Amino acid sequence: MTIDAFIDALPKVELHVHLVGSASVATVLELSRRHPGSGVPVNEEELRAFYTFTDFPHFARVYRAVNSLVREPEDVATLVAGLARDLGAQNARYAELQVTPYAHAIMGMPMREVTAALDLAARRSEQEHGVKMAYIFDIPGEYGEEAARITLDHALQEPPAALVGFGIGGIEQERPAYRDAFRAAFTAARAAGLHSVPHGGEMSGPETIWEVIEGMGAERIGHGIRCLDDDRLVAHLRETQLPLDVCPTSNLCTGQIARIEDHPLPRLLEEGLYLTLNSDDPPMFATTLTNEYKVAHNLGLTAEDLAQLARNAVNASFMTKESKQAVLAEIDALPTP
């Protein structure tokens, strides 16, 4: 078995992927043609150029433009089903999909209708594509207290059946102004039984990672690559084995690293940290979950290293114990090349 064949066959779990960012090029083109005047290109060549990001703020502007195309609950269900189809083709068994209720609220979608669309899509994802879908509700941090309130209200008042987590993303440098509101939202979400899975240390330094740990009770951290700037933080992450959801191609495309060869994935592993591999916004970054494993191999990871990352994702997920055992058995049964 070649390494590519091994990666293709490896049972996978996706823990860090965004609803709007998972929309295929074909789906975005369909929506942009349906809703002209959005600023999103209506032909493929221009759309791919639109997805060439200069930095994270530029990526955030493009993401918001694409999100403006998601105007009806049926659009939400279509996006989830499309992701399930794509992940199923990559031997993925389970995904935790980050949904941003605030983005749907400002488009005028009622909470109840969004939740109904998410519930329907989760059922179809498992029935039609063999991918069990769970949801994480995500605050876009740059929108402050209103975004925190709307996200929390949806999570507590009209949650989809598969809601497992509560997170925060967006431009990290904007968060300090709203720190108390974000901490309060996470406290309430955790009290309601939701897991804390915030982004941190993607585009800002270790102070953001410390904040999601100490102020938000993080159980898993999105990205976290800037932890290497703080030896005390690295030691804390190593001791606690707090998982970091790493997305190499995303970090390249949003300008967090200059070259893929510069990605700190190998060093993070050398430091003994607990990592999972993920795709973040795959069509926007011209990647897939499978490709992220191939990127990791090109960075020097062996087949056994990749299998261990797949196991890490299973164990760091919020699947049931029985489901975890089933996927782990599949990984262990796959011979390494």
Q: In DSSP terms, which residues pair with 280 in a beta bridge?
A: 17
Q: Give the per-residue pLDDT at 55.
A: 83
- Type of residue found at 6: F
If one compares 101 and 25, the residue with the highest pLDDT of the two is 101
> pTM for the full model?
0.93
Task: Report residue 227's pLDDT band, with 50, 70 and 90 as the boundaries.
Answer: very high
Residue 226 CA to residue 233 CA, distance in Å, equals 10
Q: Is the pLDDT of residue 179 over 90?
A: yes
Written as one letter, the residue type at 97 is L
Bridge partners (DSSP) listed for residue 222 = 199, 245
Q: Is the pLDDT of residue 265 over 90?
A: yes
Integer-rounded Cα Rg, in Å, for the chain is 19
The SS3 of residue 223 is strand
DSSP state, 69? Answer: T
Alpha-carbon distance 159 to 137, whole Å?
9
Segment 75-85 shows an average pLDDT of: 88
The phi, psi pair for 32, rounded to 5°, reads -70, -30
Domains of the chain: 3-328 (3.20.20.140)
Note if 219 is an active site residue: no
| pLDDT > 90? residue 90 | yes
| Residue 205 and residue 226 in contact, taking contact as beta carbons nearer than 8 Å | yes
For residues 191-211, average pLDDT:
97
Round to whole Å and give the CA distance between 85 and 267: 33
Does residue 1 sit in helix, strand or coil? coil
**pLDDT tens-digit map of 135-164:** 999 999 999 999 999 999 999 999 999 999
- Could you tell me the CA-to-CA distances from 4 to 213, 248, 290 in Å, in that order? 36, 18, 9
User: Mean pLDDT over residues 200-216, rounded?
Assistant: 97
Residues in the chain: 337
Query: What is the distance in angstroms between the CA of the first residue and the CA of the last residue of the chain?
Result: 5
Whole-number Cα distances in Å, 93 to 44, 102, 165, 307: 30, 28, 18, 15
Average pLDDT, the chain: 94
Sorted by sequence, the CB contacts under 8 Å of residue 274 that are 6+ apart come out as 237, 241, 242, 243, 244, 312, 316
CA distance 285 to 122: 24
């898993």: which residue's tokens? 220
Catalytic residue among 202, 271, 292, 322: 202
How many angstroms separate the most distant Cα atoms in the chain? 53
Which of 76-85, 106-115, 185-194 reaches the highest mean pLDDT? Answer: 185-194
Neighbours of 164 (CB within 10 A): 18
321-333 vs 303-316: helix crossing angle, rounded to 10: 170
Residue bearing tokens 């029935």:
127
Distance CA 81, CA 97 (A): 11
